[in-house]
Amino acid sequence: MKRIQATAVGIVLSLMLSAYGCMPSTTANNTDTDMASFPESSVGDTVSKENSTEDSSLQNVRKQKLTRKINIEEKPEITKAELIAMCPGKIIDFCEIDPYYPGNVMISGTVGLIGSPIKLSCEEAVSDLTLTLTYSEDDLRGIPEKNIAVMYVDEENQNFIHLDEAELDTENNCVSFPVKNNGIYLLFDIYAYGSVMYWDVAEYAYEKDVTDYISDWERECDTGDIMTLTDKTWVKENAPNFHVTDEKQLASVVYYANAVGGEINIYLDNDIDLSNYHWAPMGWTKSSTNITIYGQQHTVNGLTINMPGQFQVGLTGYAQSVKISDLTITNADITGSNYVGIICGECHGDKVFERVSISGNVNGTEGTAGAFVGAGDRGEYIDCTFDVKVNGKPFEYHTPEEKVKADNSDTSRYTLSINEQGRVQRTEADFDKSLSWVIYNGGKHILTRGAENELEIPDWVWEKVGTKDTTYTIYLQGYYSDTNSSYQSGYVILSNTIEYTYQ
């Protein structure tokens, strides 16, 4: 049994990450029906029981079966969940089986998820439980059956536990495993999940051409006009380095970013007008993309995304990193829910923008919508310009975090100086949440390090990250929280800014 703390799972997109960008268009009908005693119902998404009596109070404890048919359009892989257990009375009165989708985004966004997670709840009187999940082989989309594994999610303790005692029956397309706890169980591709968790999964490696299948993104998200423009043959011939000359090729890259992800390089070889299209973001929480765009001094005009109910909306939606140079975007009109920006909805990794100019309108939840980026601080903006209105008002900041920092910083709270030993030191003050040293060089973020228990930066820090005879910019930051709105929170500057030359 392999146990994974939820904090470790943060690697996975963040496996997921963050808020789930797309919401499903439909979900299963969760109607539980107490069916006739013996035959299993052929009605989709129902519960049936076997071996029960009219008077449950007189029934002895004995083995019974509870069946739940599953029919979720966005997650068709799992078709049935069947529980066998010892139960005193009608099992349907003691246990419930329900599909859990979309549910908690940390669960429904699991990398390699196969079908809908299943939530099981039984009373203590029920014992010797075995759960069997039946899957549709035709809907596995290239995943080898040997890769199907089972995970138990302990929500209370934030654990994801791999149940290695599960038994796979490929002849009957099902997986069976003993159940020890109520909670959520899911099937997953052990190669896809294990790869991002750094497990040794070489024996499960396989080649998969996702263009042969309908992707999760197509199943679960508003794809706009992207799929009517996409040329999958062109995608196969050019991935992951794309030279783009028109809207069809750019749409094809959006498809690739969302269906496949990974490292993507885009070379814009022409100006492109998107004003006649309902566009969609490039990259989402399940595709784990690193996007680099070489604009080559070209312009994208009329980028229009209208997804008021969706998170992570922009030219790029959710990405591990975004690097863009020599690009102009004009007349953009971007609407989303949370984490909305013209360039990127959400990115907490590297963000480097050089000679990027943007103009247009952004609409989203106050505090999560910005000009360049909706969520993700510490970007590098080199020779960039913007003329953007957010929710109808001129916005003077690259990100909403920048606005929080500008509105709430207190540069007099601490004083930084260089002491006689040549070290950067700070004064003392009342406790501040997440007090940290922040070090930059030439506009590039070098290090953020906790300062709550340090009055000076240790020498070994410079030995690790510093370069001799190089000058660095340093300040202190702390976490500001607005009691009236969680979206008006973020890191703020709490000291003067000094320059320090490492010698």
DSSP string of 259-285? HT-EEEEEEE-S-EE-TTS----B--T
Q: How far apart are the first and last CA of the chain?
A: 51
| Cα 245 versus chain centre, distance | 30
Beta strands in 344-428 (DSSP E): 344-346, 351-363, 373-375, 380-382, 385-390, 393-394, 416-418, 424-426
pLDDT averaged per 10 residues, the chain (length 503): 43 38 45 32 42 49 95 94 95 95 81 94 96 97 96 86 96 97 96 90 90 90 97 95 98 96 96 98 90 98 97 96 97 97 94 97 94 89 96 94 89 95 92 88 89 94 94 94 68 94 94
> Under DSSP, is residue 328 helix (H, G, I), strand (E, B) or coil?
strand
Which residue do the tokens 């006739």 mark?
Answer: 36
**Helix (H), strand (E) counts: the chain:** 9, 33
**Cα 176 to Cα 184: distance, rounded to the nearest angstrom:** 15
- List the Cα angle 473/325/381 in 5-degree steps: 25
DSSP string of 132-200? EEEE-GGGSTT--GGGEEEEEEETTTTEEEE-TT-EEETTTTEEEEEE-SSEEEEEEEHHHHHHHTT--
Strand 183-189 to 61-69 pairing: unpaired
Widest CA span in the chain: 87
**Cα 80 to Cα 393: distance, rounded to the nearest angstrom:** 51
* Count of Cβ atoms closer than 10 Å to residue 185 Cβ: 24
Residue 323: C-alpha distances to residues 18, 251, 260, 319, 377 (Å): 20, 19, 19, 10, 14
Picking from 319, 327, 375, 390, the residue whose alpha carbon sits closest to that of residue 354 is 327
Q: Look at residue 486 in the predicted model and tell me its pLDDT.
A: 54
**Cα 296 to Cα 326: distance, rounded to the nearest angstrom:** 5
The residues with which 121 forms a beta bridge, in sequence order, are: 96
Question: Is there a contact between 284 and 18 (Cβ–Cβ < 8 Å)?
Answer: no
CATH 2.60.40-classified regions of the chain: 409-502
**Cα 183 to Cα 259: distance, rounded to the nearest angstrom:** 30
Residues near 54 by beta carbon (within 8 Å), at least 6 away in sequence: none
> Which amino acid appears at position 321 of this protein?
S
CATH number of 409-502, picked from 3.30.70, 2.60.40, 1.10.3470, 2.115.10: 2.60.40
Which own/partner pairs from 134-139 qualify as long-range (CB within 8 Å, at least 24 positions apart)? Answer: 134/78, 134/79, 134/80, 134/81, 134/82, 134/172, 134/173, 134/174, 135/77, 135/78, 135/79, 135/173, 135/174, 135/175, 135/187, 136/76, 136/77, 136/78, 136/79, 136/173, 137/173, 139/76, 139/77, 139/115
Beta strands in 414-495 (DSSP E): 416-418, 424-426, 436-441, 444-450, 470-482, 485-493
Percent helix, strand, coil in the chain (nearest 5)?
15, 40, 40
Residue 133: C-alpha distances to residues 84, 115, 412, 447, 491 (Å): 12, 10, 61, 47, 45
| Cα 57 versus chain centre, distance | 48
Tokens of 329: 């975007």
> Under DSSP, is residue 500 helix (H, G, I), strand (E, B) or coil?
strand
With 0-12 / 13-18 / 19 or more C-beta atoms within 10 angstroms meaning exposed / middle / buried, residue 309 is exposed
**Cα 393 to Cα 362: distance, rounded to the nearest angstrom:** 9
Residue 400: C-alpha distances to residues 22, 51, 144, 376, 377 (Å): 22, 60, 44, 9, 9
Residue 36: C-alpha distances to residues 33, 50, 68, 443, 503 (Å): 9, 8, 14, 70, 83
Q: Look at residue 485 in the predicted model and tell me its pLDDT.
A: 59
Picking from 234, 189, 186, the residue whose alpha carbon sits closest to that of residue 208 is 189
Q: Look at residue 55 in the predicted model and tell me its pLDDT.
A: 46
Q: Which helix (H) or strand (E) holds 226?
A: helix 226-229
Residues near 473 by beta carbon (within 8 Å), at least 6 away in sequence: 439, 440, 441, 497, 498, 499
**Cα 242 to Cα 225: distance, rounded to the nearest angstrom:** 20
